[in-house]
Amino acid sequence: MADEPLEIGEITVSDWYAHTDKMAEASFLTIARRLPSLIGQAMRLAWRAGPRDTVAVIVLNLLGGVFTAFGLLATTGVLTALFSEGPTPDRVVAALPSLALVAGAAALRTAVQAGAGWAQSRLDPQVSRLTEERLYGLTSRVELVAYDDPDFHDALQRARLRGVSMADSVVTSAIDVVTALVGLAAVAGVLGVLHPVLLPLLLLAVLPDAWAAVRSARMRYTTLFALIPANRRKWIIADLLANREPAAEVRSFTMRGFLLRMYDAVARAEQEVLLRLAMRQTITRLAGEALGGLGGGLVYLALGVLLAVGSIPLAVAGTAVLAIRQGQASLGNLMYATNRLYEEGLYFTDFLDFCADAERRLSTPRPAEAPEGFARIRADDITFSYPGSGQPALRGVSVEIRAGEVIAFVGENGSGKTTLAKILSGLYEPDGGRVTWDDVDLRDVDPEAVRRRTAVIAQDHTRWPLTARYNITMGTERGEDALDAAARVAGADEVVAELPHGYRTLLDRRFKDGQELSGGQWQRIAVARGFHRDEPLLICDEPTAALDARAEHALFERIRDHSDGRTVLLITHRLASVRYADRIYVLDHGKVIEEGAHAALMALGGLYAELYTLQAAAYQDFRA
């Protein structure tokens, strides 16, 4: 029904507005106290990204302030000549030298400001590149277990969503603050030279505008904070209307009208709040301008008094008016840049905090060399718990794998099979116990070196938005023969043969000429990826999850035939596929409770025999 009330549940706070509440509560003094630290962080980052451009930006902006001050002082000479006694032509001629100085100062200021802008435009992409490389360099190096830590994940999301994108903006805002301060300092210096009493007049003229700018900014941030739920809901509804994944169901269930009605309800509520904000900001600006006008009137009154008592000449008063106008413009720029720098600095601090935490999570340098191969892999009394988990995933597990064997890990979901495999391959480090390849303890070896000796065929493999070639080779080119052999063993050669550009076909339909594969076709590509690596340890974690029965049978036959001296660790729920394994380890709630060959385990009559019998009975019932 069109008039039916809409129910939209509350959704987790968006990281995009994570610090809006801090901005809403911050006073200008709070912001001012944090400015030196933020400017220092921004300048250090800018220096690392492009030292020459950083120096150019700072020096040119300082020169711009110098030329501003010089131009204002030269204006005094112009006004003095114009206000002097004598014929007008003579006064104009007398003012020409000072006019030339004013014009020269303006031209030089324009030139150095253009140079500063050019240097800053060069600096921005360098800062962005530096911060992105730092972030992704760390995220790809931290230990895998970090991604199982909710705190790490939340910090990463904040750093990615706004922290990185704020880096160049923080530098730009810091430079804008410095530029505005230089402008104010130039004006203050000019007024101080002209007459000491003129400095307080500058404050009288600019403070009302400062009050209005700060109050208007706080209104905006407070309103945006209140609108966070509405914005979250709009984003989610927009995703449902515009993303590929829900597109089919939106049409199947004719959800378009309902979703648009929901979007309109939220958008209208947001619009009303923003319209009220516009009215409040307008009133605030009018009050600021009224107070500014009163302050300006007091300034002119004070200048009139100074003129009347002969404290300053008329030319100096005219220059003071121009300087105060210039100061008001610089103050407006300062207010805007300061608010931006503080807000962006909060998000940029998230990036810095994340990087510091990620660096603490990096593995320390390790002296031992990774073995090229092994005669035996042993795991002795392994314990392991995921971050924040109250129960250990592995408890006192010991297994042995000899070179050339086919070993199977079986058990129900959550028994610890995949966790144990990741520990054996160096992806996780155990909390207790040790893993050795022959006599080499993996704690003494660079984990990256261990991973290079391991090939993995994973159930939850990544569908890389790359060509078919790179989806198999993963950037490790070993020639066409190795590529063809791996594809042929996995049955991926049949998949590639159907692609319009063969191995050069991009496997992502979001790009032009890209192709999408079915789940089974992707599974074959992932299997070929594992075979192509050709390392001494091959881990197959549910490698047939997306395959039909015929393809599954063929794949297990190929794994047995292709092992050819390789050590194969097979993890699967389909127990008919492991009956030919040299040894089977049965895990339950993080412990090894049975081990042996298929026949011995069946004779034992334990968990393995129960699970195998249940699966076999299901097939027998189906035949019946």
- What is the mean pLDDT, run by run of 10 residues, along the chain of 624 residues? 46 45 54 74 87 90 83 74 70 76 86 89 89 88 82 79 79 84 80 74 70 71 69 79 81 83 84 84 81 73 76 78 77 75 76 87 78 85 86 90 88 87 86 88 84 81 86 84 87 89 87 83 87 84 66 68 75 80 90 90 89 75 48
Radius of gyration of the chain (CA): 36
Confidence (pLDDT) at 384:
92
> Cβ(135)–Cβ(355) under 8 Å?
yes
The token pair at 99 is 């006019």
Among 16, 458, 422, smallest CA distance to 225 is for: 16
Confidence (pLDDT) at 585:
92
Confidence (pLDDT) at 317:
76
> CA 258 to CA 262: how far, in whole Å?
6
Confidence (pLDDT) at 10:
39
> Cβ(128)–Cβ(163) under 8 Å?
no
Confidence (pLDDT) at 70:
78
Among 613, 556, 574, smallest CA distance to 406 is for: 556
pTM of the entire predicted model: 0.70
> Cβ(148)–Cβ(192) under 8 Å?
no
β-pair partners for 440:
437
Cα distances (Å, whole numbers) of residue 500 to 497, 516, 524, 529: 8, 12, 18, 20
The token pair at 329 is 């413009």
Beta strands in 414-554 (DSSP E): 432-437, 440-441, 454-457, 537-541
The CATH number of 21-360 is 1.20.1560.10
Confidence (pLDDT) at 45:
86
Confidence (pLDDT) at 32:
64
> CA 383 to CA 389: how far, in whole Å?
13
Confidence (pLDDT) at 11:
37
Confidence (pLDDT) at 298:
74
